[in-house]
C-alpha cells in the first residue's frame, strides 16, 4: 500500500467515526423534532451535524455523502428560516438520509448510485413548495430499499443538548467536557484490570501476617511478664552473680526485641494499610476505564420503538432515565439483545392501538419508560409500559391447552405463578406468527441471557394499567459474589446468582424416588448429587450428622449439590483460565482468596449438563447417609460490647444468622463483668462508651492471664490512622471502621479471626 493509499484509508476511517457521531445527533434531534418541529435548538444541532458531515465527506472525496448531507442541510435550513414546517414526511425522509449516510460511511456496504439519486430527487420534491405534502411520500421512500443498519442514536430526545459543532478532528479527541480521549484496545484494558486485581489480592495476603505479628507481640509480652514473675520468685533464693547477670540479660534482650517488634509491626501495619488503599484505588480506576454510560446500549432503541410502533399502527414513545449510569462494557454488550426483546415485546404486546387507548380513557400515544440505576453493586433496570397489562385468563387457558398443567390446578394458580409461565421456552400468547412475535421466542431468551450475566428478571403487571420488568445484573463481570465451599479438600465457588438456597439435610430428609436420591424443596422433589463426583475429587467422610447442600438452578433445571463444608460468601476477582486449557468441564474461571489460595469458579450451566449426562448414563453415585448420631459441635460464642442499641442488635442478628452464639453488653464495664464470668471465643467492642471505653476494656483483657489470648475486634466510627493505631496498640487483633462497615466486612473479619460458627 502506497503512502497515499494509507492516508486515504486513514481518512475514510476517520470519516466513518465522524458519521457515527453525527448521525447519533441527527437521529436524536429528528425524533425530538417529530414531537415538536419548532424546537430551535434541535433544528440548530441537526443542521450543524448535516453541515459537518457534508464538509467531512467533501474532504475525503465521498461524493455520495456530500450529495445526501447537502439536501438534508437544505431541508433543515429551510425549517430554521421559517420557509418550511417539518412534517412527518420530512422527518421520515431525513431519518432515511441518516441511514444512507451510515451505509455510505460503512465499508463494503455502500448504496447504489441509483439509491442516492432517488433520495436526492425525493428531497427536492419535498422541498418544492408547489408540491402538496401528502402521505404518498412514504411509499416513494420505501422504493429506495435502503436496508440500512440501525443507526446509533442518543437514548432520548429530551437529553440531547445542542452541540457546539467543533471541528471534526477535535471531536474525535475530546469529550463533551473537553477531556482528552485515548483509544485503547480491549486486550490491553483487560490486562491492566487483571494486574490491578492481582495487586489488590496480594495486599490482602498481608492480613494473616499482621495477625501473626500481633499474636507474636502478645506472646513476647507474656514472656516478659513470665520472666518478671520468675525474677520475683527467685529473689528469695540465693543466685550466683552469673545467674543474676544472665537473668538480667534475658530481660533486657527480650525487652529490646519486644520494642523492635512493636516498631516493625507498626511500620508493617502502616505499609499494609497504604498498600491496600492504593491497590484498591488502582483497581477501582482500572475498572472505571471499562465502564461506559448505560446510554451506549440504547443506541437505536428510541428509533426502533418509534418505527416498530408505526409499522403496527401504534403511537409509542420511549422515555429513558439514568442514561449516564456507568456499567461494564461487557455487560452492556450482552444487555443489548434482552433489552431489544423487552422493548419489542412492550410495543407489540403491551401498548394498545390509539383507538383502544382512547376508549380506555388513555392518551393516544403509549409510553414506555426505561430506568437505570445503581443499587448495592448491581445495575437495576426497570422497563414499564402504560399498556393493557397481561391477560391472566388467556395465560391460564394457554397453560391448559399446552398441557402444562391440569385445568383444576391452573384455576388455582396465583398471578405471580401465572406470570412465570411466560418465561417458559416456546410459550406465547399469540395464536398467529408475525415478524414481531408468535414464535415463543422472547421472554425465555431474555431470562436465559440475563442469567448468563448472573442476574435475574421479574415481571409484574396491573390489569389495564401496564406491565413492568425488573432486571438486576452485576455492574461488572470482573468480580463475582460467590459462595465458597470445600470439595475434596479444595475450594470451589458457586456464583450466588445461580444459588436458590443453602441447607443442612438430615439423613431422614433424603428419600428415594425412581431409584435416585431426592429431598423436598419448595413443594417439589429435588435431585441430590455429590459435588465430589461432578468435580472428580476424592470424597471425604464428613463427621457431621447433616449434609451440606447447595441448591443450584439454571432456567427450569434444579439440583442439590452436596459439599463437605461451607467456607462463606466472598467477592472474587475473576481470573480467566489460560486459553491453552480449552473449556474445562464444569469450571468457568479462577480466583484468589484473601490468603492467596486458588479457588475455581463453577460453571453452573455446564455442571447441570454434567448431571443430566450422569443421569442418562446411569452412572450417578449415591451419597452415603450418616445414620450414626454425632454429638453436635458446640457453637462459638461472641461477646458484642456497644452502647448503641441499634449497632448492638444489628451485629447480634448478623452473627446469629451465621450460626454463632452471641451475648451483648451495654458498655465496657458490663462487658468486663461478662468476660470474667463466662467463656467467649471472640470480643467485638466499640471504643467510645460510658463507664469504661473499649481501649480500657482491651487493656484490662490483655493483662488478665485467662483472657489475654482472646481475639479482639474493634468496630468504631473513628477511621483515622491514629485511631487505628491506638486500638491495635492496645491489643486489638482487628480494627473495622463503621464508616466502611457492611454485613460482609464484619462476617468476613469474624471468620478470619475464629473461623466458622462450629467448633
Predicted local distance difference test score (pLDDT) of residue 149: 40
DSSP string covering 86-129: --HHHHHHHHHHHHHHHHHHSTT-PPPHHHHHHHHHHHHHHH-T
* Mean pLDDT score, 347-366: 91
Per the CB < 8 A criterion, the answer to whether 664 and 640 are in contact is yes
Q: Are residues 591 and 510 in the same domain?
A: yes
Average pLDDT over residues 589-603: 85
637-641 β-sheet, strand order: 661-665, 637-641, 682-685, 712-716, 734-737
CATH number at residue 569: 2.40.50.180
What is the dihedral angle through the alpha carbons of 665, 670, 671, 676, rounded to the nearest 10 degrees? -130
Residues 107 and 239 in one domain: no
Residue 629 lies in a domain: no
Contact residues for 221 (Cβ-Cβ < 8 A; gap 6+): 258, 702
The verdict on 470 and 488 lying in the same domain is no
- 46-69 pLDDT tens trace: 998 898 888 888 878 888 889 999
User: How far is Cα 364 from Cα 374, in angstroms, rounded to an integer?
Assistant: 33
For residue 627, is pLDDT > 70? no
Task: Say what the pLDDT of residue 543 is.
Answer: 58
- Are 36 and 121 contained in the same domain? yes
CA distance 302 to 293: 16
> What is the pLDDT, as a whole number, of residue 223?
85
* One domain, residues 529 and 444: no
Specify whether 332 is located in the same domain as 418. yes
684 against 480, higher pLDDT: 684
**423/488 same-domain check:** no
Percent of the chain with pLDDT over 70: 85
Mean pLDDT for 378-401 is 89
- In tens, the pLDDT along 449-501 reads 887 787 888 899 888 889 999 998 888 777 788 899 999 889 999 988 788 88
To the nearest 10°, the Cα dihedral for 609, 614, 615, 617? Answer: 120
What total of structural domains would you count in the chain?
5
Average pLDDT over residues 113-129: 85
Q: What dihedral angle (degrees, nearest 10) is formed by the CA atoms of 28, 30, 32, 35?
A: -150
Residue that the C-alpha cell 429513558 belongs to? 320
Mean pLDDT of 202-211: 77
Per-residue burial over 96-129, b = 16 or more CB atoms within 10 Å of its CB, e = otherwise: bbbbbbbbbbeeeebbeeebbebbbebbeebbee
Which position has the grid cell 486449557?
A: 581
What is the pLDDT confidence band of residue 269, given thresholds at 50, 70 and 90? Answer: confident
Within a domain: residue 176? Answer: no
Q: What is the pLDDT of residue 498?
A: 81
- 73 shares a domain with 12: yes
Report if residue 180 sits inside a domain: no
Which of 230, 255, 290 finishes a domain? 290
Where residue 697 falls among pLDDT bands split at 50, 70, 90? very high
Q: What is the CATH number of the domain that holds 690?
A: 3.40.50.2300
How far, in Å, CA of 576 to CA of 582, rounded?
11
Q: What are 135-145's pLDDT values in tens digits?
A: 433 444 444 44
Q: What is the CATH number for 18?
A: 1.20.120.160
Q: Are 737 and 612 in contact (CB under 8 A)?
A: no
Q: Is residue 577 part of a domain?
A: yes
Interatomic CA distance for residues 254 and 260, integer angstroms: 10
Whether residues 243 and 329 fall in one domain: no
Number of H helices, E strands in the chain: 24, 23
Whole-number percent of the chain with pLDDT over 90: 12
Range of the domain at 239: 186-290
625 occurs within a structural domain: no
Cα gap 46→37, rounded to integer Å: 12
| 3-class DSSP state of 363 | coil
> Which of 232-241, 463-472, 705-714, 744-753 bottoms out in mean pLDDT, i.e. has the lowest?
232-241
Q: If you average pLDDT over residues 370-387, what whole number do you get?
A: 88
Please determine, for residue 160, whether its predicted confidence score (pLDDT) is greater than 60. no
Note whether residue 759 is domain-resident: no
Residue at a domain's end among 290, 310, 334: 290
The predicted structure's pLDDT at residue 442: 66
Q: Are residues 17 and 86 in the same domain?
A: yes
* Chain segment 532-550, per-residue pLDDT in tens: 888 888 876 655 678 899 9
Mean of per-residue pLDDT scores for the chain: 80
**Residues in CB range of 428: below 8 A, 6 or more apart:** 437, 438, 439, 440, 442
Q: Average pLDDT in the 662-667 region? A: 89
Is the per-residue pLDDT at 658 higher than 50?
A: yes
Assess whether 126 and 218 both reside in one domain: no
| Residue 680 in domain | yes
Can you give the CATH number for the domain in which 390 is found? 3.30.565.10
- What are 554-573's pLDDT values in tens digits? 766 789 999 998 998 887 87
> Is 627 contained in some domain?
no
User: Do 101 and 164 fall within a single domain?
Assistant: yes
Amino acid at each position: 500500500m502506497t503512502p497515499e493509499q494509507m492516508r486515504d484509508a486513514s481518512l475514510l476511517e476517520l470519516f466513518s467515526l465522524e458519521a457515527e457521531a453525527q448521525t447519533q445527533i441527527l437521529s436524536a434531534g429528528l425524533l425530538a423534532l417529530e414531537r415538536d418541529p419548532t424546537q430551535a435548538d434541535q433544528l440548530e444541532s441537526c443542521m450543524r451535524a448535516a453541515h459537518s458531515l457534508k464538509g467531512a465527506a467533501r474532504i475525503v472525496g465521498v461524493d455520495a455523502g456530500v450529495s445526501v448531507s447537502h439536501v438534508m442541510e437544505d431541508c433543515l435550513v429551510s425549517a430554521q428560516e421559517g420557509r418550511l414546517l417539518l412534517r412527518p414526511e420530512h422527518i421520515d425522509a431525513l431519518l432515511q438520509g441518516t441511514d444512507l449516510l451510515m451505509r455510505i460511511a460503512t465499508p463494503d456496504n455502500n448504496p447504489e448510485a441509483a439509491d442516492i439519486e432517488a433520495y436526492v430527487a425525493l428531497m427536492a420534491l419535498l422541498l418544492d413548495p408547489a408540491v402538496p405534502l401528502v402521505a404518498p411520500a412514504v411509499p416513494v421512500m420505501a422504493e429506495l430499499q435502503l436496508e440500512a443498519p440501525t443507526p446509533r442514536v442518543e437514548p432520548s430526545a429530551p437529553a440531547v443538548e445542542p452541540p457546539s459543532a467543533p471541528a471534526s478532528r477535535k471531536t474525535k479527541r475530546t469529550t463533551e467536557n473537553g477531556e482528552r480521549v485515548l483509544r485503547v484496545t480491549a486486550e490491553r484494558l483487560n490486562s491492566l484490570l487483571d494486574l490491578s486485581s492481582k495487586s489488590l489480592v496480594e495486599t490482602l495476603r498481608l492480613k494473616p501476617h499482621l495477625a501473626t505479628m500481633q499474636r507474636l507481640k502478645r506472646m513476647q509480652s507474656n514472656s516478659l511478664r513470665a520472666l518478671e514473675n520468675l525474677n520475683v520468685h527467685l529473689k528469695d533464693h540465693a543466685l550466683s552473680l552469673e545467674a543474676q547477670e544472665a537473668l538480667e540479660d534475658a530481660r533486657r534482650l527480650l525487652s529490646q526485641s519486644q520494642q523492635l517488634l512493636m516498631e516493625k509491626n507498626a511500620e508493617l501495619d502502616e505499609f499494609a494499610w497504604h498498600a491496600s488503599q492504593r491497590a484498591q484505588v488502582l483497581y477501582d480506576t482500572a475498572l472505571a476505564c471499562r465502564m461506559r454510560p448505560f446510554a451506549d446500549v440504547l443506541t437505536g432503541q428510541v428509533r426502533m420503538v418509534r418505527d416498530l410502533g408505526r409499522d403496527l399502527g401504534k403511537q409509542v414513545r420511549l422515555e429513558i432515565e439514568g442514561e449516564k449510569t456507568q456499567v461494564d462494557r461487557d455487560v452492556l454488550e450482552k444487555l443489548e439483545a434482552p433489552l431489544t426483546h423487552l422493548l419489542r415485546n412492550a410495543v407489540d404486546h403491551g401498548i394498545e392501538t390509539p383507538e383502544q387507548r382512547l376508549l380506555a380513557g388513555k392518551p393516544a400515544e403509549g409510553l414506555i419508560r426505561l430506568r437505570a440505576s445503581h443499587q448495592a453493586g448491581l445495575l437495576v433496570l426497570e422497563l414499564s409500559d402504560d399498556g393493557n397489562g397481561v391477560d391472566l385468563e388467556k395465560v391460564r387457558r394457554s397453560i391448559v391447552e399446552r398441557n402444562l398443567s391440569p385445568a383444576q390446578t391452573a384455576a388455582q394458580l396465583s398471578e405471580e405463578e401465572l406470570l412465570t409461565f411466560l418465561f417458559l421456552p416456546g410459550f406465547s400468547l399469540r395464536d398467529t406468527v408475525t415478524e414481531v412475535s408468535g414464535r415463543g421466542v422472547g421472554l425465555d431468551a431474555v431470562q436465559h441471557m440475563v442469567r448468563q450475566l448472573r442476574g435475574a428478571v421479574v415481571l409484574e403487571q396491573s390489569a389495564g394499567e401496564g406491565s413492568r420488568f425488573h432486571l438486576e445484573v452485576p455492574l461488572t463481570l470482573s468480580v463475582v459474589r460467590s459462595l465458597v465451599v470445600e470439595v475434596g479438600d479444595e475450594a470451589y465457588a458457586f456464583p450466588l446468582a445461580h444459588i436458590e438456597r443453602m441447607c443442612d439435610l438430615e439423613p431422614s430428609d433424603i428419600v428415594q424416588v425412581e431409584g435416585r436420591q431426592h429431598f423436598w424443596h419448595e413443594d417439589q422433589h429435588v435431585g441430590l448429587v455429590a459435588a465430589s463426583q461432578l468435580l472428580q475429587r476424592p470424597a471425604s467422610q464428613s463427621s457431621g450428622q447433616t449434609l451440606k447442600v447447595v441448591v443450584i438452578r439454571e432456567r427450569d433445571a434444579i439440583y442439590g449439590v452436596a459439599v463437605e463444608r461451607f467456607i462463606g460468601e466472598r467477592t472474587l476477582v475473576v481470573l480467566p483460565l489460560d486459553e491453552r486449557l480449552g473449556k474445562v468441564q464444569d469450571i468457568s474461571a479462577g480466583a484468589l482468596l484473601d490468603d492467596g489460595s486458588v479457588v475455581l469458579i463453577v460453571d453452573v450451566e455446564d455442571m447441570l449438563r454434567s448431571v443430566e449426562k450422569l443421569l442418562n448414563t446411569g452412572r450417578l453415585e449415591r451419597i452415603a447417609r450418616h445414620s450414626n448420631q454425632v454429638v453436635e459441635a458446640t457453637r462459638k460464642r461472641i461477646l458484642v460490647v456497644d452502647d448503641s442499641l441499634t449497632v448492638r442488635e444489628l451485629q447480634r442478628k448478623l452473627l446469629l444468622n451465621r450460626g454463632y452464639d452471641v451475648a451483648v453488653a451495654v458498655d465496657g464495664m458490663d462487658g468486663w463483668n461478662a468476660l470474667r464470668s463466662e467463656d467467649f471465643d471472640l470480643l467485638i467492642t466499640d471504643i467510645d462508651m460510658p463507664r469504661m471505653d473499649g481501649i480500657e476494656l482491651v487493656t484490662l483483657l490483655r493483662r488478665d492471664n485467662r483472657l489475654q489470648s482472646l481475639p479482639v475486634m474493634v468496630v468504631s466510627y473513628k477511621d483515622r490512622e491514629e485511631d487505628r493505631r491506638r486500638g491495635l496498640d492496645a491489643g486489638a487483633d482487628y480494627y473495622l471502621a463503621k464508616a466502611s462497615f457492611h454485613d460482609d466486612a464484619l462476617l468476613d473479619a469474624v471468620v478470619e479471626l475464629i473461623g466458622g460458627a462450629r467448633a
